[in-house]
Amino acid sequence: MAAGIAHEIDNPLTSILINTHLLLEKLEKLKKKDEFYENLSLIAEETHRCSQIVRGLLEFARQSQTQKTNTDINDLIEKTVLLLENKASFQNIKIIKNLKPDLLLILVDRAKIQQVFWNLMINACEAMPNGGQLTILTDLSRDGKAIEIRFIDTGVGIFPEHINKIFDPSFTTTASGKDLGLGICYGIIQQHNGAIEVKSEPGRGTVFTIYLPLEKIGIDPKGGH
Ligand SMILES: Nc1ncnc2c1ncn2[C@@H]1O[C@H](COP(=O)(O)OP(=O)(O)OP(=O)(O)O)[C@@H](O)[C@H]1O
Ligand SMILES: [Mg+2]
């Protein structure tokens, strides 16, 4: 809905902005930089500000729409690891991939799930400032209803008093706070009807596990998806 309204407002705003600028140009040509000119400039500035807000809303709406496609999770992991291996902070970290071959394709928003993998790997890396090992594991879940993806690091771990807060969007113990936080990751996994769990031992390491359900496509006898 926000996207629809934002789009409707964007057109008249652009028209106001263009016409205000035309009037400003006319006054400039007439060398009339009087109080009308000042008022018109203010209108132009404020309209521009509205336009920025509306564009921000449109961008947000675009990001929050999910576009699910059939995806090979192992492939997505490989792609994310390739991107990360070039980062300097990953030079001391040994990445072990234990990816179950021939996993079924699942319906996910590839970009969003990749963002989740990216954040979990960056977090693992930040937890191992002096190097360590990151094991990435994929498998069919024990009940056969989901794909399980596990990120196991040998980092600093998370204190028990912090563990319930880490999915809180405002919680951070690092100075950066600029990446996509675990709060957003949690939201993305929920949008996929999945689950994300964490287990940690301070001083030893952390395990994040994601479950993404295998959705039955068009074979549900009740007719649903
Ligand atoms: N693998 C991990 N090992 C130890 N602590 C972790 C790990 N992953 C997350 N954390 C803890 O959870 C907090 C929240 O993580 P989150 O990704 O939401 O934010 P951040 O990494 O601090 O900031 P940002 O991702 O925005 O740069 C971290 O600050 C850290 O304390
Ligand atoms: Mg992070």
pTM here is 0.72
User: Does any ligand 1 atom lie closer than 6 A to the CB of residue 173?
Assistant: yes
Q: Please give the average per-residue pLDDT across 52-67, as a whole number.
A: 75
CA of 171 to the centre of ligand 2 (A): 10
pLDDT at 210: 98
Ligand 1 atom with least separation from CA of 124: 1
pLDDT at 217: 54
pLDDT at 175: 62
If you average pLDDT over every residue of the chain, what do you get?
A: 87
Maximum CA pair distance of the chain?
A: 78
Q: Angle at CA 177, nearest 5°, toward 173 and 180?
A: 115
CA of 25 to the centre of ligand 2 (A): 48
Distances (CA, A) of 191 to 106, 113, 144, 168, 187: 14, 10, 20, 17, 6
**Residues around ligand 2, an ion, CB closer than 5 A:** 119, 123, 179
Q: Please provide residue 151's backbone torsions phi and psi, each rounded to the nearest 5 degrees.
A: -115, 115
User: Does any ligand 1 atom lie closer than 6 A to the CB of residue 115?
Assistant: no
- Model confidence pLDDT, tens digit, residues 107-145: 999 988 998 999 999 999 999 999 999 999 999 999 999
Q: Is the pLDDT of residue 67 over 60?
A: yes
Lowest mean pLDDT among 6-20, 90-104, 107-121, 194-208: 6-20
User: Does any ligand 1 atom lie closer than 6 A to the CB of residue 206?
Assistant: yes
Ligand 1 atom with least separation from CA of 205: 3
Ligand 1 atom with least separation from CA of 172: 29
Check residues 166 and 171 and name the one with the higher pLDDT: 166
User: Does any ligand 1 atom lie closer than 6 A to the CB of residue 121?
Assistant: no
- Model confidence pLDDT, tens digit, residues 92-106: 999 999 999 999 999
